[in-house]
Structure 1
């Protein structure tokens, strides 16, 4: 037996102000999308803004349902909207913000496992990395250069 070490590197910013202007704008759009989340059960709003290669921004937010498995995360709402309405367009960046709808949260919130897998499918299909920015509602921001930084052992079509 041998052990295999996996290593990833993320960029950490103390606040949104440290980011380039275009990244600040994308995160602000995700913050706005978060405010429109339908989260009456968890009161935890998540917003996502996706930047396409042509400059189009597609937003999404979490949509909960009384039958819990029937809801959908903000990242998948947005990325599936890209697939449905902008097929074949390259996704450059994805920004995520999250926190209680009635308060603030200063810890960066990464995408859940299901969202990571969905992002991986799009990244694999476009054969270009998708940069991912994530934060709470304020404070520190993390940046991953690719979904493989957050999901190093991606399950893709090569296994089928």
Structure 2
């Protein structure tokens, strides 16, 4: 895989299919009275393979809007999970896929799995085709976390 590949939903593992289905379902709860652009996300933790979901929540002031991914992350963190294995994002765009925004990409980078990356799956609610990539591909120069063992010298 270069930066990404687009595959049939049915070719994905059952775990990934279920994660995308969870994102499709939570997307229905999105609060989007201003844009009408609903997004759902589901995160699979590395430890215990727990699933946490989130949907986008808009606000009339716009800047305090919460993206679907950043709605799911705090739920996992509050339960003690700090390493994510897979993230699914679902939104409707006729001819494209919706990737996490820059803030969400950086937020997710704080919780990379033990292999230093997170698998990312982007789908439409129809779940026909899925774009598969990795966080490192969509955020190649993320800020590093300043742990002693990760500081670049």
- TM-score by length of structure 2 reads 0.84
Q: Please show how residues 16-35 of structure 1 align to structure 2 within 5 Å.
A: 16-35=9-28
Distance 1:105 1:36 in 2: 21
Tell me, what secondary structure is at the counterpart of 1:122?
A: coil
Cα RMSD (Å): 2.1
Show the counterpart of 1:149. 137
Structure 2: runs of 5 or more not aligned = 146-150
For 1:136, the equivalent position in structure 2 comes to 124
Whichever structure has more helix as a proportion of its residues is 1
1:122 aligns with 2:116: no
Secondary structure at the aligned position of 2:31 is classed as: coil
Asked if 1 retains the 8 angstrom alpha-carbon contact of 2:45 and 2:81, the reply is: no
Instruction: Identify the residue that residue 58 of structure 2 maps to in structure 1.
Output: 64
1:16-55 to 2 correspondence within 5 Å? 16-53=9-46, 54-55=48-49
In structure 1, stretches of 5+ residues that fail to align are: 1-7
Aligned length: 145
TM-score, normalised to structure 1's length?
Answer: 0.81
Please state how far the C-alpha of 1:106 moved relative to its aligned partner: 5.1
Q: Name the CA distance, whole Å, in 1 between partners of 2:72 and 2:124.
A: 18
Pairwise CA distance, 1:137: 2.0
Q: CA deviation at 1:123?
A: 1.5
